[in-house]
Amino acid sequence: MAKDGISNLNVIFHDLDEALAAQLTDAVSQPGRAFHSTTSTSECISVAEQRHADVVFCNSNQRGYQSLLGALKQSGLELPVVVVSRIPETSEWLDALDAGAADYCAAPFERQHISWLVQSALLAGQRLPAIV
């Protein structure tokens, strides 16, 4: 069991640059967790289905995450999406939530904060693997 109560977590980093993906990996890395990177919406959907993904972290490009959220809904996948930004902006956060994102976060990432985001996103979607 991971320290934060979530084990065997499958995470997708969608359209994130290498630096942000590395920072997020450091923040949520635990034994039993798998990370997958995707660059297109169709690839993200395919990986999510094949790997039984639990959560997607995607970049804060509004057109990009809106496209992803629409495609996930159309495919029937109930997968929480957390929008990721380099700089926290309230309007960007509200836009992401209005579009249907589970949450929004900005660098620098703290392990406890990201863990909380993942747990709350999974609880909201009732896709929680295990909570202690």
* 35-62: pLDDT as tens digits: 999 999 999 999 999 999 999 999 999 8
Angle at 110 between CA 54 and CA 108, to 5 degrees: 105
> Residue 97: how many CB atoms within 10 A of its CB?
13
Mean pLDDT within 110-119: 87
Report the pLDDT value the prediction gives residue 130, as an integer from 0 to 100.
39
pLDDT above 80 (res 13):
yes
Q: Is the dihedral of CA 112, 57, 12, 102 positive or negative?
A: positive
How many domains does the chain fold into?
A: 1
Residue 33 maps to a domain: yes
Residue 3 maps to a domain: no
Residue 29 maps to a domain: yes
Residue 86 maps to a domain: yes
Residue 36 maps to a domain: yes
For residue 80, what is the domain's CATH number?
Answer: 3.40.50.2300
Residue 50 maps to a domain: yes
What predicted TM-score, i.e. pTM, was given to this entire model?
0.86
Residue 132 maps to a domain: no
Residue 97 maps to a domain: yes
Domain around 17: 10-125
Peptide bond before residue 108 is cis, with ω within 30 degrees of 0: yes
